[in-house]
Amino acid sequence: MIESVKILTNSLRIKFKGETIENFPNIWLRDHAKDEQNWDRRSHQRKTNTGCLDLDIKIKQAKLKNEGQHIEILWSDMTNVVSYSSEYLLKHLLCKNRKDFKFRLWKKYQIKEDIFLSYKDIMRENGFKFFLEKIYKFGFCVITNCETNLKAVETIANKIGYVRQSIFGGLWEFESNQDKADSAYTQEELKPHTDATYSNDAPGLQLLLCCDYKAKGGESILVDGFKIAQNLKKNDKDLFDFLSSVEVPGKYIGDGVILEAKRPIFKLDNNELIQVSFNNYDRTEFRLDELQTLKFYEGIKKINNLINKPEYQWRHVLNPGQLLIFNNWRILHGRSSFKGKRKMAGCYINMEDFMSACRVNGIS
Ligand SMILES: [Fe+2]
């Protein structure tokens, strides 16, 4: 709700109910006019040619409507008024208060049984929203009672977005396989890592369905990378800042491709952590000066210590019919060693498609 507005030379000062006051520059407001003349409602695209707007554009009149639910603005270059809702303006505040922050950073003890959802439930409309919300908040969940075939993986993937094609194909099945180049096919322990540090657009979600398990060991291990980041930032801000600025390269060679990409272990956007990338298996050569080199390896050591602490590791042996789904931009995954037969199926989904599904369901 808007309490009052004041027209300034090149901006509009808006006082919202509560304490929030913000100046919205005229040119920004004019560029975001969503009336019929300036906006195509069918395609959700701008009609205005922004480059032709006067940077010094003026507001002739600004009136509150519907008890502050809207402002109507008369622009110096238009004859009709343009309406802006208070909800729209609040959504685009520069200094958002982050009460709506929905991530729940976790340690092992904070993960409860409700992380398990049944296949039947997530296929229902309300259940599906609840399922997406769970992944959004905690970074993962386990779907139980799935059929043990690729079709089950595909059905879940298509409900969220679509199956991503990668060097491993779209949908994949594997048992331990010595012929493949990737460490994921061994029976050895896999330390917590994120997948595809060698890809500029690492997969957003990974789905892993247990199809057969006649083995000993093979616990799936998950670690909340955002929690690790929070810990490091709190206890060694200098090191955290360093690790969020140094770009670390990852490389994949095999199956006729050489893929390489680089980004910081903690990738920030406007000071907000958006992605954790940590894969000691796939890191390739890069040089820093001597002091920075030492600092980088100190960082690796600290992260390695944290992600291997039992208090940060959620562990679970997937049984046939259980599908683990996790956010690969946040959750590090690993697997303890095993002996015997373990057959898995899975796929990746792009981050942008997961985020789209969240927006469509009013989650993010
Ligand atoms: Fe992996």
Q: How far is the CA of 236 from the centre of ligand 1 (A)?
A: 28
Q: How far is the CA of 133 from the centre of ligand 1 (A)?
A: 23
Give the lowest-confidence range in 65-79, 183-197, 212-226, 279-293: 183-197
Q: How far is the CA of 279 from the centre of ligand 1 (A)?
A: 9
Number of domains in the chain: 2
Q: How far is the CA of 39 from the centre of ligand 1 (A)?
A: 44
Q: How far is the CA of 268 from the centre of ligand 1 (A)?
A: 22
Q: How far is the CA of 2 from the centre of ligand 1 (A)?
A: 49
Tokens 């002091």 -> residue: 291
Phi-psi region of 255 (alpha: psi -120 to 50; beta: other; left: phi over 0): left
- Evaluate if residue 178 carries a pLDDT over 50: no
Q: What is the pLDDT of residues 201-243, one digit of tens each?
A: 999 999 999 999 999 999 999 999 999 999 999 999 999 999 9
Residue 219 resides in a domain: yes
Structure-block tokens of residue 80: 């009709």
CA-CA distance, 158 to 141, in Å (whole number)?
Answer: 17
Q: How far is the CA of 323 from the centre of ligand 1 (A)?
A: 15
Residue 159 resides in a domain: yes
Q: Which of 96, 122, 148 is the last residue in one of the domains?
A: 96
Residue 103 resides in a domain: no
Q: How far is the CA of 185 from the centre of ligand 1 (A)?
A: 10
Q: How far is the CA of 218 from the centre of ligand 1 (A)?
A: 13
What's the mean pLDDT when you consider all of the chain?
94
Residue type, 15: K
Give the lowest-confidence range in 9-23, 174-188, 198-212, 286-300: 174-188
Q: Quick one: pLDDT at residue 180? A: 53
Q: How far is the CA of 194 from the centre of ligand 1 (A)?
A: 6
> In the predicted model, what is the mean pLDDT of residues 290-305?
97
What percentage of the chain has pLDDT greater than the value 90? 88
Same structural domain for residues 86 and 155? no
Name the β-bridge partners of 65: 70
> In the predicted model, what is the mean pLDDT of residues 188-195?
95
Same structural domain for residues 88 and 123? no
Same structural domain for residues 242 and 272? yes
Q: Quick one: pLDDT at residue 175? A: 84
Q: How far is the CA of 219 from the centre of ligand 1 (A)?
A: 13
Q: Quick one: pLDDT at residue 121? A: 96
Same structural domain for residues 34 and 164? no
Whether the Cβ atoms of residue 331 and residue 140 lie closer than 8 Å to each other = yes
Q: How far is the CA of 195 from the centre of ligand 1 (A)?
A: 5
Q: Quick one: pLDDT at residue 352? A: 97
Q: How far is the CA of 124 from the centre of ligand 1 (A)?
A: 30
pLDDT category of residue 98 using cuts at 50, 70 and 90: low
> In the predicted model, what is the mean pLDDT of residues 52-66?
96
Q: How far is the CA of 206 from the centre of ligand 1 (A)?
A: 9
Same structural domain for residues 174 and 136? yes
Q: How far is the CA of 40 from the centre of ligand 1 (A)?
A: 43
Whether the Cβ atoms of residue 155 and residue 325 lie closer than 8 Å to each other = no
What percentage of the chain has pLDDT greater than the value 70? 96
Q: How far is the CA of 140 from the centre of ligand 1 (A)?
A: 14
State the virtual CA torsion across 334, 337, 341, 345 in degrees, nearest 10: 10
Q: What is the pLDDT of residues 327-340, one digit of tens each?
A: 999 999 999 999 88
pLDDT category of residue 174 using cuts at 50, 70 and 90: confident
CA-CA distance, 164 to 205, in Å (whole number)?
Answer: 10
Q: Is 265 exposed, middle or buried (0-12, 13-18, 19+ CB in 10 A)?
A: buried
Q: Quick one: pLDDT at residue 255? A: 83
Q: How far is the CA of 278 from the centre of ligand 1 (A)?
A: 11
Residue 252 resides in a domain: yes
Q: How far is the CA of 188 from the centre of ligand 1 (A)?
A: 13
Q: Which of 45, 73, 96 is the last residue in one of the domains?
A: 96
Same structural domain for residues 180 and 33? no
Q: How far is the CA of 332 from the centre of ligand 1 (A)?
A: 8
Please tell me which residue, 157 or 186, carries the higher pLDDT value: 157
Q: Quick one: pLDDT at residue 1? A: 93
Instruction: Look at residues 241, 259, 261 and name the one whose alpha carbon lies nearest to residue 249.
Output: 261
Q: Which of 96, 121, 140 is the last residue in one of the domains?
A: 96
Q: How far is the CA of 192 from the centre of ligand 1 (A)?
A: 8
Q: Quick one: pLDDT at residue 185? A: 65
Same structural domain for residues 169 and 245? yes
Q: What is the CATH number of the domain that holds 9?
A: 3.30.2020.30
- The length of the chain is 364
- Evaluate if residue 177 carries a pLDDT over 70: no
Same structural domain for residues 161 and 264? yes
Q: Domain of residue 192: give its range.
A: 108-360
Q: How far is the CA of 288 from the centre of ligand 1 (A)?
A: 27
CA-CA distance, 26 to 54, in Å (whole number)?
Answer: 10
CA-CA distance, 329 to 318, in Å (whole number)?
Answer: 22
